[in-house]
Chains A and B, each alone.
Chain A
Amino acid sequence: MAMAEPEGAPKESFRPSMLIYDTRYRAITIQVLVLAGVLALIGWLVNNTLHNLEILGKPLGFGFLFEPASYDINQRLIEYNSRDTHLRAAFVGLLNTLLVAAAGCALATIIGLFVGVLRLSKNWLVGRLMTVYVEGFRNVPVLLWILLTMAILIDTAPRPAAFRKGEASMLFDAIAITNRGIYIPEPVFSRSLGNIHLFGSSSLRFDVSLDLVAILVALIAGIIASILVRRWADRVQEETGDRPTTWHIRTALVVVPPVLVLWALGFHLVYPELKGFNFKGGIHLRNSFIALWLALSLYTAAFIAEIVRAGIQSVPKGQTEAALALGLSGGQTMRLVILPQALRVIIPPLISQYLNLTKNSSLAIAVGYMDITGTLGGITLNQTGRELESIMLLMLVYLAISLSISSVMNWYNKRVKLKER
């Protein structure tokens, strides 16, 4: 028989004062109040905004995106002319943002790794030099680095005419550093496969180079084959105890297919040449891109160096000693014991530095590099007077980039999380 309720126990009935004094109901009261407050605030702001837009005679709408942009973008990855729409201009800008972000992340990682490792070096002088680099770069605003690099490129690099007079010369006869930008050789395919045209004639149309696709396919196939060889070597080692030497086969598998494809496509370089007052041919990297790229990379590299240093220092010395005691070689110790543990510490802050670099690339507007801030948040905004819509779209784009990068990070964190049993 179930226990009966004690006789005469007060039957709790709901009283309004319990909304405040009873912790069970108080949580609900607070949330309702907070929600009401926030909704009231948002409603007030939206109401003001609509009212103001009405006064200004600019009802909310995104139709302006499909009007002709009628401005030029001098550095672009895809074909664009001033008769294209604002949406197309924003798309060109987005690709420019992604370009400088990807190039910046790559260079920053290389410099950061290098500096971070050297900072731990036993060599006193090198360690100090690297400390000076890190402390110098990260304590000065990145905007200043960008503008300084831009000023140096414009004011101290030789004019193209100087190359004619012999006052300046090209590096390796291939790269010309001028005050109008840097000219580098352009890869060209004489037996090109052509392009695939995507998205018809809409604002988001772009061409995919089949040559690039072919090279990528060859590279990926090579890497997969190399992994298969490694698996085979693992299996042999487990069965017999001896590991077959595979590094030469694996290198060949990765290198040879892309080289073959390049040869088949008729790969050659077109060098920049001085014609008239300027260089022709080759790829023209404008000063704005170079300044942004170098400054962002050097600045972010200082932070990455610290992350790398902390990561390496976080692995206890006992791990190295234990690995050596097991009979692993120096390289194996690094690859199988130290790196997996250091990377667990390094990768999350590293990715958030990538995120910072991507967001900082919006400073492009200070040197006139046409990224998404320069197109959508700059010229388009000023020409159409659509501040609200432009800035909302701009924020959405950056949010989408940030959220996708941080979801990659979360996935990685989950994968390498210590499994505690």
Chain B
Amino acid sequence: MAETTYVRTEMLPPKPPPPTQTGVIGWLRENLFDGWKNTLLTLVALYVIYALLSAALPWFLHAVWNAESLNECREIIKASWGPEADGACFAVIRDRWHQMLYGFYPQDLYWRPNLAFVLMLVALSPVLFPNLPRKMLVFSLIYPFLGYWLLWGGTVWAPVSWALGFILGYFAFILVNDRGGTILAAIAAVVVPVLWWLFGAGPFADLVQSLIPISLADVESRQFGGFMLSVTIGITGIVGSLPLGIILALGRQSNLLMVKSLSVGFIEFIRGVPLITLLFVASTLLNIFMPPGTNFDIILRVVIMVTLFSAAYVAEVVRGGLAALPKGQYEAAAALGLDYWKSMRLVILPQALKIAIPGIVSTFIGLFKDTTLVSIIGLMDPIGLTNAIRANAEWQGIIWELYGFVALVFWIFCFSMSRYSMYLESRLETGHR
């Protein structure tokens, strides 16, 4: 047998790919210039970016931060960049900075909303990030009362006596539950605090205040404004609408005809009307529904309406989550002998809420954006302030600087909320892939 010397015994090293397939050129060819259609798209996109930048960049570079009025801004820009130059007048934000943040809140009391905001972050963090110590949740429970006291002022004993209502309700539930069963306990847990709030809370707060006076200067709701108002309404609405939405969703899934039809009716009604009509109700009608002489705080009225509005949307999202669970989960919970509330709390809701997270968060983003609607009923939120500043003689004609600033702040809030929802989803991901 002849020797086949021409057969190679070792492998040749692979050749590097041609330079047009790798590195920057390869990436460009694959992603931007792949065929004439793609090239055309790239060119159009490049032109759009160029057009945007060529308008925006000089505008930013010529920005003026120190001026008293728009005319002064324009003069400074003309003086330094030539008569044709166009520039941003960010001086308006500097000039109205405090107003945009706090509205007409008394200037010497700015530390109160600042402190309330920082404490709010502390109170929210254990709820948002489960790896923080659980004991911090106690502070989260106290915070709503503390935050109210810091923002509105008045005697500290008023929020304390409201909090006392919840504590009384809790004890009433435990006491009655041991003797009379869950239903009676639930009724007691509602009736006792309501009675306390109606008849006991006010005198109690007055009494303790006269014994141990601790109070902060009062601030009227009308003085609230700016981003502080948006955050106040937004966060209160979010915190209130989640539990209410879950209850409505459970009501809609309930076997009890009465509960079910009431929930359906409420949800469909709220989802069928625009928020602005509900805000009209808050601003003009809510006082008509109450006993004569009642005077509700305007921010409280708005918060109630915003909460009800977004609770209906949360309810629909949660219902989607409940419907997505396999029926076996319900049956398994029942087979373990769990009663309705236990099976919901321990088996169904943890899974359903996990499915519903993206929808819930986007409802909350919608709620936060919708807080701007209060400007239509005359509250001074950032949009209302923007309108007022633009109507002012000094800043008449300013557009991009103000709206851009407000838009940027909202964008940061909303975008970080949607990122948080992604983080939460990936953290709770238990699928085995």
- Interface membership of A231, Cβ < 8 A: no
Q: Which of B251-265 contact A (CB under 8 A)?
A: 255-259, 262
Do A27 and B277 have beta carbons less than 8 Å apart?
no
Does B258 lie within 8 Å of A144, measured CB to CB?
A: no
Interface residues of A in 124-171 (CB under 8 A from B): 124-126, 129, 135-136, 138-144, 147-148, 151-152, 155-156
A141–B410 touching, CB < 8 Å: yes
Does A209 have its Cβ within 8 Å of any Cβ on chain B?
Answer: no
Neighbouring A residues of B372 by C-beta, 8 Å = 141, 143-144
Q: Is A332 an interface residue (CB 8 A)?
A: no
Choose among B45, B48, B181 the residue that contacts A21 (Cβ–Cβ < 8 A). Answer: B181
Tell me the bound Cα distance from A38 to B256 in angstroms: 15
**CB of B332 closer than 8 Å to a CB of A:** no
Known: A365-B376, A398-B274. A140 touches B288 (CB 8 A): no
Q: Which of A51-59, A68-76, A411-419 contacts B (4 or more CB under 8 A)?
A: A51-59
CB of B418 within 8 Å of the partner chain: yes
- Write out the residue numbers on chain B whose beta carbons fall within 8 Å of the beta carbon of A124: 31-32
Question: CA separation between A156 and B403, bound complex, in Å?
Answer: 15
Interface string of B364-377 (1 = CB under 8 A from A): 01000110110110
What sequence of 0s and 1s flags, for each residue 354-376 of chain A, a beta carbon within 8 Å of any chain B beta carbon?
A: 00000110110110000001000
The CA of A53 and the CA of B289, in the complex, are separated in Å by 10
Of the candidates A20, A56, A140, A144, the one whose C-beta lies within 8 Å of that of B184 is A20
Binds B, one of A28-36, A172-180, A319-327: A28-36
Stretch at the interface among B5-13, B199-207, B383-391: B383-391
What is the CA–CA distance of A116 and B257 in the complex, to the nearest angstrom?
42
> Within 8 Å of chain B (Cβ to Cβ): is A387?
yes
Verify A140–B292 contact, CB threshold 8 A.
no
How big is the A interface, by class?
35 or more
Most chain B CB within a 10 A radius of its CB, from A29, A140, A387 = A140
- Residue in A51, A56, A147 whose CB lies within 8 Å of B386: A147
Given that A26-B183, A48-B290 are contacting pairs, would A123 and B277 also be in contact in the complex, using a CB cutoff of 8 Å? no
Query: Are B31 and A394 within 8 A (Cβ)?
Result: no
- Asked if A328 is at the interface of the complex by the 8 Å CB criterion, the answer is no
CB nearest to A359 among chain B residues: B274
Considering the chains assembled together, what is the distance between the CA atoms of A159 and B263 in angstroms? 54
Q: Which of A20, A126, A360, A399 contacts B269 (CB 8 A)?
A: A399
Q: How large is the interface on B (under 10, 10 to 19, 20 to 34, 35 or more residues)?
A: 35 or more
- Out of B369, B376, B399, name the residue touching A148 (CB < 8 Å): B399
User: Are the CB atoms of A155 and B45 closer together than 8 Å?
Assistant: no
Taken residue by residue from 4 to 33, chain A's Cβ proximity to chain B (1 for < 8 Å, 0 otherwise) reads as 000000000000000011000011011101
Residues of B within 8 A of A45 (CB): 289
B128 at the interface (CB under 8 A from A): no
Q: Does B49 contact A (CB under 8 A)?
A: yes
Give Cα A142–Cα B281 distance, bound, in whole angstroms.
Answer: 21
Tell whether, in the assembled complex, residue A123 and residue B399 are in contact, meaning their CB atoms are under 8 Å apart. Answer: no
A151/B410 in contact, CB under 8 A:
no
CB<8 Å pairs between A and B, sample of 24: A27-B255, A31-B256, A35-B258, A51-B292, A53-B288, A123-B32, A123-B38, A125-B41, A125-B42, A125-B49, A129-B49, A139-B414, A143-B375, A143-B376, A143-B383, A359-B273, A360-B274, A363-B376, A387-B288, A388-B285, A388-B288, A391-B285, A394-B277, A399-B272
